[in-house]
């Protein structure tokens, strides 16, 4: 049951010994090892290894460490590292939670604006201020295809804003007295 729950998460879960050996990876962590980290699942990816070493060197195991990095234009990863205490006679283990932030944002924008997966990828790269040519190179598509996707994205986003003007957060007007409190 516990492993089914861990495998159902959209987060990569690593359990690591204090000598930095991977003891458990859920299915998402295994997938992230292959796609993001380009490493075998029986070895801790180099980026995760370095972050775990940094966590152990801090000497404050009760405080979790959060590390964010962007290995490429279309990758953005957040690591949460904390100490898991087991039974009194057992060595504490490291719990590493890996979140593929680009995948989360890609899915959110895709759903919100009704984008195709490719349009969402183009949108993410446009937001990263990539040129159309850089997007074409990164996604291995033609420049004209990038332009078509970008046009569709802007049309869908414009339509989204027109149809749902209530989707913007509106704060109530506050008197100067309310602001001072």
What average pLDDT score do residues 101-122 get? Answer: 86
* Confidence (pLDDT) at 7: 56
Round to whole Å and give the CA distance between 15 and 18.
10
pLDDT of 141 > 90? The answer is: yes
| Predicted TM-score (pTM) above 0.85 | no
Mind listing the pLDDT tens digit for each residue in 78-92?
A: 899 999 887 778 888
Determine the pLDDT at residue 132. Answer: 95
Full strand arrangement of the beta sheet holding 12-16:
22-25, 12-16, 93-100, 75-84, 65-72
Flag whether pLDDT at 180 surpasses 70.
no
Q: Which residue has the higher pLDDT, 60 or 7?
A: 60
45/1: higher pLDDT: 45
Quote the tokens at residue 68.
């964010």
Asked if pLDDT for residue 170 goes beyond 60, the answer is no
pLDDT of residue 96: 93
Alpha carbon dihedral 20, 24, 30, 34, in 10-degree steps, equals: 20
């Amino acid at each position: 049951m516990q492993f089914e729950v861990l495998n159902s998460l959209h987060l990569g879960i690593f359990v690591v010994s204090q000598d930095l050996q991977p003891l458990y990876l859920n299915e998402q962590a295994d997938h992230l090892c292959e796609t993001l980290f380009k490493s075998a699942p029986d070895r801790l990816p180099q980026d995760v290894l370095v972050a775990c070493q940094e966590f152990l060197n801090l000497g404050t195991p009760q405080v979790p460490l959060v590390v964010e990095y962007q290995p490429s234009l279309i990758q953005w990863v957040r690591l949460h590292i904390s100490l898991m205490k087991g039974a009194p006679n057992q060595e504490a283990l490291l719990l590493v939670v890996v979140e593929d932030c680009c995948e989360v944002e890609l899915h959110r924008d895709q759903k919100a604006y009704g984008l195709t997966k490719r349009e969402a990828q183009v949108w993410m790269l446009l937001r990263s201020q990539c040129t159309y040519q850089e997007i074409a190179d990164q996604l291995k598509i033609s420049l004209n295809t990038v332009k078509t996707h970008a046009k569709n994205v802007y049309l869908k986003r414009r339509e989204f804003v027109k149809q749902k003007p209530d989707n913007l957060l509106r704060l109530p007007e506050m008197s100067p007295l309310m602001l001072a409190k």
